[in-house]
């Protein structure tokens, strides 16, 4: 039996054994050879990738990472790598996906698995709704039921309790009419803006005016008789263009007795209640 031992380079090995025999008469048996081949490999394959786990931001186009590999015996194993993923995971807007690359060579050596995980936020364009409607609030509205953020609902948001931004506009005036607009806006975490909603309320205001009256003895207003000079404030209901009250401040002057005049064009009351313009410049009184 003869053998030259293990032959081969790299991972491919072989060894041949040859059996021979010659009898006493010099007859040689036909030699018989046995050759064994095998792969000698104890090194692990190596998997690599240029992809880096991380967050991809908002609504990305997700591309699966690419993996490459090499084995000391088999060379480039990139095409033979197995990539496992269970797909997109997560609830609501928070999403993630993991890819894990594995490989086992012909000798059962398993490469160290390489995983890449991407996370991202997946949103839709939000929307705002409300039960409020544009309306007229009547006269002298006190703003007690002015719109608040609680009057608006946001859908399509990633937040647990999304709240609109409510902007209050200035009060505009046109005669006795007043108007004010509230604008609700919302922008989600990915910068997507909902269509704004405007709510406008209108209301009327009373008119305020002044008046002066001169009377002899008494003066009657709205069923009340006044006998003394005074300032009176009274209301004329629903009198202005907005259907609201007109409020008048009346300066009332009442004279009760005859008086002598000391200057031209004084108004005085006679005993009979008549109004006389008297003069002291030699002209006759004018009744």
| Residue 22 structure tokens | 């010659």
Q: Specify the 3-state DSSP secondary structure of 149.
A: helix
Cα within 13 Å of Cα(72), Cβ side = 14
For 90-133, the DSSP string reads -STTEEEEEEEEE-B-TT-PBPPPEEEEEEEE-----EEEES--
Angstrom CA distances, 99 to 63, 67, 82, 126, 222, stand at 11, 10, 10, 31, 89
Domain coverage including residue 257:
207-278
What lies within 8 Å, CB to CB, of 94 at 6+ separation is 119, 121, 158
The CATH number assigned to the domain holding 54 equals 2.60.40
Residue 9 pLDDT exceeds 70: yes
Residue 283 pLDDT exceeds 70: no
The 10 Å Cβ neighbour count of residue 196 is: 13
Instruction: Please give the biggest Cα pair distance in the chain.
Output: 192
- Residue 284 resides in a domain: no
What is this structure's pTM? 0.67
pLDDT value for 257? 53
> Do 179 and 172 contact (CB within 8 A), yes or no?
yes
Q: 258 versus 7: which is more confidently predicted? A: 7
- Residue 163 resides in a domain: yes
Among 153, 154, 180, residue whose Cα is nearest residue 167: 180
- Residue 283 resides in a domain: no
- Residue 78 resides in a domain: yes
Domain boundary among 204, 226, 259: 204
Same domain, 262 and 222: yes
Residue 206 pLDDT exceeds 80: yes
Number of domains in the chain: 4
Same domain, 142 and 195: yes
- Residue 287 resides in a domain: no
pLDDT tens-place string over residues 90-127: 988 999 999 999 999 999 999 999 999 999 999 999 99
- Residue 89 resides in a domain: yes
Domain boundary among 204, 233, 254: 204
- Residue 191 resides in a domain: yes
Same domain, 88 and 150: no
- Residue 237 resides in a domain: yes
CA dist., res. 197 & res. 134, Å (int): 11
> Do 91 and 105 contact (CB within 8 A), yes or no?
no
Same domain, 181 and 167: yes
């Amino acid at each position: 039996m003869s053998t030259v031992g293990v032959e081969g380079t790299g991972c491919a090995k072989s060894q041949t054994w040859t059996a021979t025999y010659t009898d006493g008469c010099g007859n040689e048996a036909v030699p018989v050879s046995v050759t064994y081949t095998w792969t000698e490999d104890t090194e692990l394959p190596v998997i690599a990738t240029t992809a880096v786990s991380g967050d991809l931001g908002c609504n990305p186009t997700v591309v699966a990472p690419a993996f490459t590999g090499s084995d000391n015996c088999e060379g480039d194993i990139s095409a033979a790598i197995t990539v496992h993923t269970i797909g997109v995971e997560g609830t609501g807007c928070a999403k993630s996906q993991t890819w894990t690359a594995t490989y086992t060579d012909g000798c059962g050596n398993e490469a160290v698995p390489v995983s890449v995980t991407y996370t991202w936020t997946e949103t839709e364009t939000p929307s705002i709704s409300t039960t409020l409607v544009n309306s007229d609030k009547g006269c002298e509205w006190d703003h007690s039921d002015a719109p608040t953020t609680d009057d608006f609902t946001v859908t399509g948001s990633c937040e647990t309790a999304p709240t609109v931004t409510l902007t209050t506009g200035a009060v505009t005036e046109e005669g006795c009419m007043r108007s004010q607009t509230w604008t609700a806006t919302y922008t989600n975490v990915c910068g997507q803006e909902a269509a704004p909603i405007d709510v406008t309320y209108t209301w009327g205001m009373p008119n305020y005016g002044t008046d002066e009256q001169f009377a002899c003895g008494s003066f009657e207003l709205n069923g009340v008789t006044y006998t003394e000079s005074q300032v009176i404030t009274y209301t004329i209901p629903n009198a202005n263009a907005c259907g609201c009250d007109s409020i008048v401040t009346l300066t009332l002057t009442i004279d009760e007795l005859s008086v002598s005049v000391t200057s031209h064009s004084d108004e005085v009351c006679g005993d009979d209640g008549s109004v006389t313009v008297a003069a002291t410049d030699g002209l006759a009184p004018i009744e």
